[in-house]
Amino acid sequence: MTAVAAILFWLSAGLLVYTHLGYPLVLALLTRTRFRQRDLDRPELTGPSSDLPTVSLIIPAYDEEDVIEAKVANALALDYPRERLQLIVASDGSADRTAELARRAGAGLVLELAPGGKVAALNAAAEQAAGDVLAFSDANSIWTRDALRKLVAPFADRGVGYVCGQVRFVDAGGDNLEGAYWRYEMAVREMESALAGVTAGNGAIYAVRRDAYLPLAASGSHDLSFPFLLAKRRLRSLYVAGARASEKMVPTLDGELARKRRMMVGLWDIVVGEGMVSPRGYSPLYAFELFSHRLLRYLSPLLHLVAFLANALLLGEGWVYDLLFAGQVALLGAALLARAVPIAPFRIARYYVETTAAIALGFWDRIRHGATGRWQKAEGTR
């Protein structure tokens, strides 16, 4: 029994350390070897307007009357020829003035759709889009003026199917630590992009080649599904740091936990149902990235549980096990104390513990209620 517990402990603990710390270090080494793909960080397109691809910029919206006019104005102010830019607002069953205000602000096409969820709205807009490239942005995301040119530049390479940009979260002065985590995540994605392609995107700023667009189920996710599904079609997914957008951060950690929990509800439909877990079609390097960055992260609640229980069985078997168990208890204790004593180490512990728990809670919600495509905007982000 002791030998089995030791194997389980070191395996689960080792995988946790690897996915959070070891994997970025391995990426850093690999991207400095002969495997590195060159010329992925392309300059913005600066040639004649006729050389630029036509772009349909699609903005899904559900009751976004507070921000839609500013978003449309931001899109129309982008440094991109108006004659080569189609602006589509897809209002998914909005009960407020979203559609009216989008038209008044100058959106070229406003779709007033029956309620179906975000992905259903994106699918409907993609069917109406006329551009060679389909770009997407959330209604509360503000792009820098040169973002679109930089975002679409990599599509000059026919081997590129998807490109995501950099989203920066504006701190509303709350207790959420998502901004710090996101900077770490962006650094990892930049290295993945240089190696074999990113394993996920973001909803604030991304684009896909029109002939590579994949209509997903209503409970799906462009952010998670497009990169790996396109990899199976031998198309790369890139991250361009120069294509920048900003969003207001969820102000509280409670709100961030609720947001991540909702995101995780449909996760396993994507991992299993859409074939993320199947290695068929991936290059070896991309399979390595997906296993290291995605699958191990999604299994982290289980790995933590196994490490904790196995470590408990090993108490008294040596000072190393006693010390490591004390460390795990200290992490949980700090997370619990963070509400009453909000010092930085405790807040970091709480963020890690609760965002990890959100994966398990989302899975539990999926079992109880099923996966839906319902809109649920994060609190305080408008």
Instruction: Determine the average pLDDT of the residues in 244-255.
Output: 84
What type of residue sits at position 293? H
Per-residue pLDDT, 40: 45
DSSP letter assigned to residue 82: G
Q: Under a CB-based contact definition with an 8 Å cutoff, are residues 150 and 205 in contact?
A: no
Q: Under a CB-based contact definition with an 8 Å cutoff, are residues 133 and 151 in contact?
A: no
Per-residue pLDDT, 60: 97
pLDDT in tens, 198-241: 999 999 999 999 999 999 988 889 999 999 999 999 999 999 99
What sign for the dihedral angle of Cα 326, 332, 335, 341? Answer: negative
370 C-beta neighbours (distance < 10 Å), count: 11
% of the chain residues with pLDDT over 70: 90
Instruction: Please name every residue paired with 133 in a beta bridge, in sequence order, or none if there are none.
Output: 55, 209
Per-residue pLDDT, 254: 82
What type of residue sits at position 361? L
**Structure-block tokens of residue 49:** 């307007």
Per-residue pLDDT, 171: 67
Q: Under a CB-based contact definition with an 8 Å cutoff, are residues 306 and 293 in contact?
A: no
pLDDT in tens, 121-164: 999 999 999 999 999 999 999 999 999 999 999 999 999 999 99
Rounded to whole angstroms, how far apart are CA atoms 191 and 235? Answer: 17
Task: Please provide the DSSP assignment of 160-178 as one string.
Answer: EEEEEEEEEEEP-SSS--H
Tell me the C-alpha to C-alpha distance, in Å, between residue 299 and each of 23, 177, 254, 305. 15, 22, 22, 10
Rounded to whole angstroms, how far apart are CA atoms 142 and 70? Answer: 8
